[in-house]
Structure 1
Amino acid sequence: MAAPLLLYGGTFDPPHAAHGRLPQLAGQAIGASRVVWIPAAQNPLRTEQSAPPEDRVAMLEALLAGNAEAEIDQRELRRGGPSYFVETLRSFQAEDANIPLRFLIGADQALQFRRWHDWEQILDLAHPVIAPRPPHDRVALELVLEQLDEGQSRSGWWRGSVLDLPLDDVSATKLREALAESDQAALQAGIPESVLSVIRARGLYGRSDA
């Protein structure tokens, strides 16, 4: 069987250190042939306004500049509207049905995965790869998912998918707050200087001095 293709979607608003690090680690763990970052046009489960797509791509490019093997795929941005991941998976499958598809999500998304549009169809197209996140390590996250699954359809969809990766508590929400408050320590801990330079140059998140 061919090595899997690992897809990692998100708004990347802003992209932070974990957005670059965890997909690489996950890709190595599953023996992925490639890891592809996919910026969303519009997250259907998110209400707040994002930075413009071209700015989010520029920040993501800055984040991944040191990774020669990183790929950024903009098909969701070209498609526009709500970024339903099931449509993205169908388009990848149409390009090459022989390559197994995997998709990386964090613990927060795993816990609300049943809210995703056509989530059962997503599982028919690709296998999940789940990264734990504080306060849940791998064992704790599996226990919570087991409890949420009780009596539900497709129970156990996550079994064998939770990786034992380093826990990372960085979040884009907290970093947007840090940008608004000029919390330099929090910013430097979560956002690489290359991304901060893009934020400054473009005056994103109301900052020109991040």
Structure 2
Amino acid sequence: MKKAIGLLGGTFDPIHIGHLRPAIELQEQLNLAQIRLLPNYIPPHKTTPDSAPEHRLAMAQLATKYTPGLVVDARELAHNRPSYTIETLIELRKEQPDTPLCFLMGMDSFCGLNHWHRWQELLEYVHIIVSDRPGFQSHFNPTIQALFRAHSTTDPRLLQQHLAGHIYLFNNAQLDISSTQIRRLIRHGNNPQYLLPEAVANYIREQRLYQSSVL
């Protein structure tokens, strides 16, 4: 069996430190071979992204260019339709039949997992790694509570020993940064410096994304 890889989906509109720093910590502490960032074309549970797919892909590539262990997988951007996680995971499992796959998500997303398309099938293809703030009080609905009880583990070694099927809570330092916050700053003419990689900030300025006047 090969070394596990992590999968992190998102609109990345724009990608920022709040995406990247937790991904690095997860990759290092769970001993993952790599983490693949999967930019969505159109996320089913969010509004249409502000910037075009080619811009979001370019920003993700710039953000990860010099970061070992983080790579960009652009497959969902090629679909030209809403991105359903289960379809991507089925495709990846076919490509990686002997590699454990770890799908990364925040606690807020996990609490609403039962509203995802074909959510009951996810653990057939991946482990689910939930980033959980220390001291954060999660509130599982009965469906998610039952799923967690059936599949949770506190042993990270199982993520390498099995291809899929476990839920693991990972306590990491989550940064209070959001893409919405950054877009709002730019639209108001404020400087988002240090909230996102310098290369991404430069790209936003050059392409005049998010109605930028100051960067």
Calculate the TM-score normalised by the size of structure 2: 0.85
| Corresponding residue for residue 119 of structure 2 | 119
Q: CA distance change for structure 1 residues 208 and 178 in 2, over 3 Å: closer, same or farther? A: closer
Conservation of the 8 A alpha-carbon contact between 1:149 and 1:155: no
| Corresponding residue for residue 159 of structure 2 | none
In the alignment, the residues of structure 1 paired with residue 92 and residue 144 of structure 2 have an alpha-carbon distance, to the nearest angstrom, of 32
| Corresponding residue for residue 197 of structure 2 | 192
CA-CA distance at 1:163 after TM superposition = 0.9
CA-CA distance at 1:98 after TM superposition = 0.9
Conservation of the 8 A alpha-carbon contact between 2:114 and 2:144: no
| Corresponding residue for residue 183 of structure 1 | 190
CA-CA distance at 1:139 after TM superposition = 4.4
TM-superposition CA deviations, 1:87-112 (whole Å, max 9, x none): 11001100121111101112221222
| Corresponding residue for residue 172 of structure 1 | 179
Aligned Cα RMSD in Å?
2.0
Aligned partner letter, 1:199: I
In the alignment, the residues of structure 1 paired with residue 106 and residue 152 of structure 2 have an alpha-carbon distance, to the nearest angstrom, of 12
Q: Which residues of structure 1 form unaligned runs of 5+?
A: none
CA-CA distance at 1:155 after TM superposition = 4.2
SS at match of 2:171: coil
Residues 1:54 and 2:61 are matched in the alignment = no
Q: CA distance change for structure 1 residues 207 and 7 in 2, over 3 Å: closer, same or farther? A: same
Alignment of 1:84-163 (within 5 A): 84-132=84-132, 137-141=133-137, 144-145=138-139, 147-149=140-142, 153-156=146-149, 157=151, 160=154, 161-163=168-170
Conservation of the 8 A alpha-carbon contact between 1:17 and 1:63: no
SS at match of 2:136: helix
TM-superposition CA deviations, 1:120-178 (whole Å, max 9, x none): 1112211111123xxxx23434xx24x42468652435554121211311111111111
Conservation of the 8 A alpha-carbon contact between 2:64 and 2:72: no
Q: Which residues of structure 2 form unaligned runs of 5+?
A: 155-167
In the alignment, the residues of structure 2 paired with residue 172 and residue 51 of structure 1 have an alpha-carbon distance, to the nearest angstrom, of 11
Conservation of the 8 A alpha-carbon contact between 2:12 and 2:39: yes
Aligned partner letter, 1:176: R
Calculate the TM-score normalised by the size of structure 1: 0.87
In the alignment, the residues of structure 2 paired with residue 102 and residue 151 of structure 1 have an alpha-carbon distance, to the nearest angstrom, of 18
Percent sequence identity is 27
CA-CA distance at 1:189 after TM superposition = 3.5
In the alignment, the residues of structure 2 paired with residue 151 and residue 193 of structure 1 have an alpha-carbon distance, to the nearest angstrom, of 39
Aligned partner letter, 2:26: A
In the alignment, the residues of structure 1 paired with residue 181 and residue 109 of structure 2 have an alpha-carbon distance, to the nearest angstrom, of 17
The structure carrying a bigger helix percent of its residues is 1
Conservation of the 8 A alpha-carbon contact between 2:6 and 2:35: yes
